[in-house]
Structure 1
Amino acid sequence: MATNLELFADYFQIHVLDDVSEIDLLTGRPDDDSDDFDHVVEASLNLASGRMVVLGCTDYGPDAARFDMPAGWTRVRTSRRNLEAAAFPDPDCEDEPEDMEEIRLQTWPAPYALPDIIKRWTPPDA
């Protein structure tokens, strides 16, 4: 399963949570393609309801994207790219795709594990 979502990620946040379109639901841990991204992290999420919700920080919850998932512990890998352009957009091209951050979420069933920073992006000095 996979999808593209346009979220208003104010405060530089998105929320991924359980709930009482297309995201990758994998059968196992994906291959490491972190060279293609600026920042990559993994964390565990207990989807007791079997529904995952993805929304921007101030989005209206009932309108958020929802995905049927296997109930129980799920691992979520968040890969982000184009961070420098999004952090320092060209004033003449604001809101253009070239100035927008891209976020990919991949999920797969896995037992609980501590969060893991696979690759960390450090913004350049402004």
Structure 2
Amino acid sequence: MTDRALSQKAAAGAPAKVLFEGTLLADFFQIYLRDAAHPALPEGYDDAAIARRLMAGPYAVILHTARNMPVPLRVEWHNARPEPDLSAGQHVVEAGFASPSGTLVLAGLTDYEPTAPRLAVPAGPLGVRAVLSGLDTLSADGLEGRDVYLLQLWPGAMPPGVQVLKAWPGG
């Protein structure tokens, strides 16, 4: 194994750094993560984009949640792309975007952005993976549930578009 391959393997096995852990209001079923210097969010909403549960633009991603309520969210930093654990969630999806400023804004769609969490990351291209679980625990009215959302970030460019690694058949 080359020195580079060994260091990538070691980085991939390194523990994640938690950048955010808490709840955010997923108003309109959306939470976004964007470069602080680039306010434009991805566009082009259609049924396919919503079913993928992640939209990616040049400098931002939008996570589509199962509830229009405060939801638990964890954002992790990894030094290299972690191996996907498809058993960890009901829906797993990846994309890429860039953070030229090295600061990300994390917010619900209608949050007051000046008070939204800021997350420090290395400037440059980023990979992102969304792992959604508990999607089958929603109440009939969609207001209660044990749904949980994880965003994993790492340095490096990703192929264009959104890649669904595991699709939740429940909608």
TM-score range, shorter chain: 0.7 to 0.9
- The question of 1:60 aligning with 2:112 is answered yes
User: Match of 1:53, SS?
Assistant: strand
Aligned to 2:48: none
Spell out the pairing of 1:1-126 with structure 2 (5 A cutoff): 1-2=17-18, 3-20=20-37, 23-86=75-138, 89=139, 95=144, 99-114=145-160, 115-123=162-170
User: Match of 2:21, SS?
Assistant: coil
The alignment's C-alpha RMSD in Å is: 1.8
Return the alpha-carbon distance in structure 1 between the equivalents of residues 84 and 98 of structure 2.
23
Q: Percent identity?
A: 32
Q: Considering Cα pairs closer than 8 Å and 6+ residues apart, tell me whether 1 or 2 has the greater RCO.
A: 1
Return the alpha-carbon distance in structure 2 between the equivalents of residues 52 and 71 of structure 1.
10
Q: What letter matches 2:169 in structure 1?
A: T
Count matched residues.
116
Consecutive aligned runs of 4 or more in structure 1 exceeding 4 Å deviation: none
Return the alpha-carbon distance in structure 1 between the equivalents of residues 76 and 21 of structure 2.
11
- Using structure 1 for the length normalisation, give the TM-score: 0.82
Structure 2 segments unaligned to the other structure (5+ residues): 1-16, 38-73
- Using structure 2 for the length normalisation, give the TM-score: 0.62
Q: How many angstroms does 1:15 deviate by?
A: 0.6
